[in-house]
Amino acid sequence: MTTRTLFGTDGVRGRANTHPMTAEMALRLGAAAGRYFRRDGSRAHRVVIGKDTRLSGYMLENALTAGFTSTGMNVLLLGPVPTPAVGLLTPSMRADVGVMISASHNPAEDNGIKFFGPDGFKLSDEAEMEIEALVAGQFEPARAENIGRAKRIDDGRFRYVERVKSTFPQGLTLDGLKVVIDCANGAAYRAAPEVLWELGAEVIALGVSPDGHNINAGVGSTAPEAAAAKIRETGADVGICLDGDADRVILLDETGAVADGDQIMALFAARWAEEGRLKGQTLAATVMSNLGLERFLSDREIKLHRTAVGDRYVVEAMRAHGLNLGGEQSGHIVMTDYATTGDGLIAGLQFLGEMVRTGQPASALARSFETVPQLLKNVRYEAGKAPLDLPAVQAAIAAGEAKLSGQGRLLIRKSGTEPLIRVMAEAEDEALMLAVVDEIVGAVEAAV
């Protein structure tokens, strides 16, 4: 069976100016995607391109534009906008394809390219494989008179802001709430504070001074300590931490304690089930979600549909089974009633809406269940190697599975976005869990 080598779990990603994140590859990807999405018909073919705040975004944006216009597609450049804005604006602007230039939560030296189809949803594995095949082949460029045009779109952010505000419960406002919003110096650095302020909140903004190099640097969903300190300093009611492209969120209560995606999904699933609007009485989440979430849902007769890691696979399962709520422990919360992909800002607003509706503090809403002890450790390896295929590593994994049998679960996988082996275990016996993870990590480290 043909496998993808260029695309990972969330588009194409890597270190900027190093394969595959080079200008040359971006040009070829643009030309390949342009050819793949170019459809017959009288109207012009178009693509919308958004980006986060990384310095390399300029280089990749220009290269993608060259690739797309060479196939005859017109390019609409949105500038810095959250990833879910691209999912929203692709169908709204009648585009054939949408592109987001971002490496999400990765450091500034990395970048990535994500594609959205004309319906605003991320591409399937099959579509990505076809684009890969086109990248490897030869292109037939458009005739000189049919080369596409490119222009800047000034109101993309404003369209997104109004859409996000419309998802907040009707008749409610954020008046009287003091909210810390950490935008990770990323794509939502302007949109997120605008939305919160316009809905009535007192806004304390962090991570809103991007310089091309500081995205996710000590701020955002992967570093919530800064927002927690600001909450304690200012007496804020709640904190919302976004990642670099604002498609994931981590929430903080009034004490600065963290609520991850599992706790957020538990709150929403229970509330939606009570209201009769949780489709299929089912939540879609990945294999990484905590066993405590599964137990919480089961007690409320809500089913948990587990998927492979990656919000794209969560969305695919939701569409296949007619579900409207899903996500990841890492903070991707997908609500297809509102958006086509994870949207950290919309998820944050839904949580604030529950605070306003119930009158309860964030701490009362952010702890729906007790988590089963879970440990995740990452081991970095040299790109191109396959440490999980080595006999010593396989033996360590088998031994760990035997020790946890009937007492917990073990999940070992390669990251789809970085050269990392992720080793995760869950067990009520924390000492056993730690021992199993350390033994496997040690075997992988020895192998690499």
Distances in Å between the Cα of 418 and the Cα atoms of 51, 66, 103, 282, 421 are 20, 27, 10, 31, 9
Assign 43 a pLDDT band (cuts: 50, 70, 90): low
Residue 123 amino acid letter: L
Q: What is the pLDDT of residue 2?
A: 52
Whole-number pLDDT of residue 385: 80
What is the reported pLDDT for 156?
Answer: 96
On the question of pLDDT at 418 being above 50, the answer is: yes
| Alpha carbon distance 266, 153 (integer Å) | 38
Quick: pLDDT tens for 54-78.
999 999 999 999 999 999 999 999 9
* 191-200 average pLDDT score: 98
Contact predicate 115/131, CB 8 Å: yes
User: Is residue 221 among the annotated active site residues?
Assistant: no
For residue 1, pLDDT over 50 is answered with no
Structure confidence by residue, pLDDT tens digits, 278-328: 999 999 999 999 999 999 999 999 999 999 988 999 999 999 999 999 999
Cβ atoms of 196 and 253 closer than 8 Å: no
293-to-33, 223, 290, 329 alpha-carbon distances in Å: 39, 23, 5, 10
Model confidence, pTM: 0.90
pLDDT of residue 42: 45
- Spot the catalytic one: 104, 221, 289, 330: 104
Tokens 């890969």 -> residue: 132
pLDDT of residue 41: 46
Residue 115: strand, helix, or coil: strand
Reported confidence tier of residue 39, pLDDT bands at 50, 70, 90: low
Sorting pLDDT into bands at 50, 70 and 90, what band is 351?
very high
Q: What is the pLDDT of residue 231?
A: 98
Domains of the chain: 12-156 (3.40.120.10), 261-365 (3.40.120.10), 374-447 (3.30.310.50)
pLDDT, mean of residues 23-33: 97
Q: What is the pLDDT of residue 140?
A: 82
Judge whether residue 98 has pLDDT over 90.
yes
Is-contact 368 290, C-beta < 8 A? Answer: no
Q: Are 75 and 61 in contact (CB under 8 A)?
A: no
For position 407, what pLDDT does the model report?
A: 86
